[in-house]
């Protein structure tokens, strides 16, 4: 009986230590979530203004054409997927990876029909054992990434479209709804054929040297900005998912501690009762 009591005490101590860890991780994730939300909200006005200018240029003249605005026959599709470098975030990575694999199975019959680009170690490690080639990757991003951190993969994805290596490009990431809800989305980035419909109030601009030259500069920058915005959404979703997962783990630890404490008290009470019984039996034997 004493051995059983010591084992229960050891388990209680272990669960309390785990609870301290998960509670600390929940608080850290909550702090980082607030910063990520602010970063995502701050990036939106910049992207909206570029979209407004592009829409104004594209609609100002029918002579202005750009390959990034033109849809073409789809022979090969590119997917840029956003995952995390670390786990312990509930279904954050599994949901977005499952969504991508479902899309691939529905749309493609051969690996030659698509290209995978990955941000995050979890995504890279997912594709490697499945023999799915990753054409570009970035891992080890900080919790507050800058545009420079992902510029290389964003530039590579846009260049592949410009060079005709892919005919459309999709962003696959978790869209942040709130701390408890993140929705995996597959969002087309290129071609930007719907940029006119997204434009709000038209503004009059003068372009130097020409509208076409302005588009040559703004369109790649706009596409890269949308990639960065998706990264910020993904980071906010990651911290929201991690905060929720660690909160659930802390509550589960509390339940286990309460259950083990009850078992410990019952075992201890039984041991005391047995000792009293043995003492009384021994005293009766001597009388």
Question: pLDDT-derived band of residue 62, with 50, 70 and 90 as boundaries?
Answer: low
Look at residue 186 and tell me whether its pLDDT is greater than 90: yes
Q: What is the pLDDT of residue 94?
A: 95
| pLDDT tens per residue, range 106-148 | 999 888 999 999 999 999 999 999 889 899 999 999 988 988 8
Angle between helices 211-286 and 147-162 (to 10 degrees): 130
Q: What is the pLDDT of residue 287?
A: 63
In a domain, 187, yes or no: yes
Question: Quick one: average pLDDT of 179-188?
Answer: 90
User: Which distant-in-sequence residues (6+ apart) come within 8 Å of 45 by Cβ?
Assistant: none
How many folded domains does the chain comprise? 2
Q: Are residues 269 and 131 in the same domain?
A: no
Q: Which of 172, 169, 166, 182 is CA-nearest to residue 81?
A: 172
Q: What is the pLDDT of residue 52?
A: 75
Burial class (CB in 10 A: 0-12, 13-18, 19+), 182: buried
Question: pLDDT-derived band of residue 197, with 50, 70 and 90 as boundaries?
Answer: very low
Q: Are residues 266 and 225 in the same domain?
A: no
How far, in Å, CA of 222 to CA of 228, rounded?
10
Q: What is the pLDDT of residue 204?
A: 64
Instruction: Find the domain containing 276 and state its range.
Output: 2-25+246-286
Question: Quick one: average pLDDT of 250-277?
Answer: 88
Look at residue 263 and tell me whether its pLDDT is greater than 70: yes
> In this structure, what token pair is assigned to residue 154?
């964003």
In a domain, 78, yes or no: yes
Look at residue 11 and tell me whether its pLDDT is greater than 80: yes
- Residues 116, 134 contacting (CB under 8 angstroms): yes
Q: Are residues 171 and 257 in the same domain?
A: no
In a domain, 122, yes or no: yes
Q: In Å, how far are 77, 128, 188, 280 from 108, measured between CA atoms?
A: 9, 19, 16, 80
Q: What is the pLDDT of residue 221?
A: 85
Q: Which of 219, 218, 115 is CA-nearest to residue 172?
A: 115
In a domain, 87, yes or no: yes
Q: Are residues 107 and 88 in the same domain?
A: yes
Question: Quick one: average pLDDT of 156-176?
Answer: 91
Q: Are residues 130 and 261 in the same domain?
A: no
Q: What is the pLDDT of residue 58?
A: 66
Task: State the CATH number of the domain containing residue 6.
Answer: 1.10.287.80
Q: Are residues 18 and 99 in the same domain?
A: no
Tell me what the pLDDT averaged over the chain comes to: 85
User: Which distant-in-sequence residues (6+ apart) come within 8 Å of 242 by Cβ?
Assistant: 25, 26, 29, 88, 89, 90, 92
Residue 76 CA to its chain's centroid (Å): 25
Task: State the CATH number of the domain containing residue 154.
Answer: 3.40.1380.10
Question: pLDDT-derived band of residue 158, with 50, 70 and 90 as boundaries?
Answer: confident
Look at residue 211 and tell me whether its pLDDT is greater than 90: no
Question: Quick one: average pLDDT of 64-88?
Answer: 87
Q: Are residues 62 and 162 in the same domain?
A: yes
Question: Quick one: average pLDDT of 203-212?
Answer: 69
Q: Which of 66-70, 87-91, 216-220 has the highest mean pLDDT?
A: 87-91
Question: Quick one: average pLDDT of 34-42?
Answer: 84
Look at residue 78 and tell me whether its pLDDT is greater than 60: yes
Q: Which of 173-177, 195-199, 274-278 has the highest mean pLDDT?
A: 173-177
């Amino acid at each position: 009986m004493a051995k059983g009591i010591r084992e229960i005490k050891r388990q209680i101590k272990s669960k309390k230590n785990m609870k301290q860890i998960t509670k600390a991780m929940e608080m850290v994730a909550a702090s980082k979530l607030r910063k990520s939300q602010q970063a995502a909200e701050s990036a939106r006005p910049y992207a909206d203004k570029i979209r407004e200018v592009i829409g104004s240029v594209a609609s100002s003249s029918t002579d202005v054409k750009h390959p990034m605005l033109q849809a073409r026959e789809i022979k090969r599709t590119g997917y840029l997927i956003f995952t995390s470098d670390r786990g312990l975030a509930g279904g954050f990575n599994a949901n977005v990876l499952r969504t991508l694999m479902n899309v691939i199975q529905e749309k493609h019959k051969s690996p030659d029909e698509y290209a995978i680009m990955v941000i995050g170690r979890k995504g890279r490690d997912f594709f490697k054992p499945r023999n799915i080639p990753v054409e570009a990757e970035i891992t080890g991003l900080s919790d507050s990434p800058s545009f420079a951190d992902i510029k290389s993969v964003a530039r590579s994805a846009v260049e592949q479209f410009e060079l005709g290596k892919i005919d459309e490009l999709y962003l696959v990431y978790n869209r942040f709804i709130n701390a408890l809800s993140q929705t995996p989305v597959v969002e087309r980035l290129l071609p930007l054929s719907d940029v006119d419909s997204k434009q709000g109030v038209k503004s009059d601009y003068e372009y130097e040297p020409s509208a076409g030259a302005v588009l040559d500069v703004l369109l790649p920058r706009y596409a890269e900005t949308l990639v960065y915005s998706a990264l910020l959404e993904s980071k906010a979703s990651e911290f929201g998912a991690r905060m929720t997962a660690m909160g659930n783990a802390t509550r589960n630890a509390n339940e286990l501690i309460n259950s083990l404490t009850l078992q410990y008290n019952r075992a201890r009470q039984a041991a005391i009762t047995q000792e009293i019984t043995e003492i009384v039996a021994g005293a009766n034997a001597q009388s």
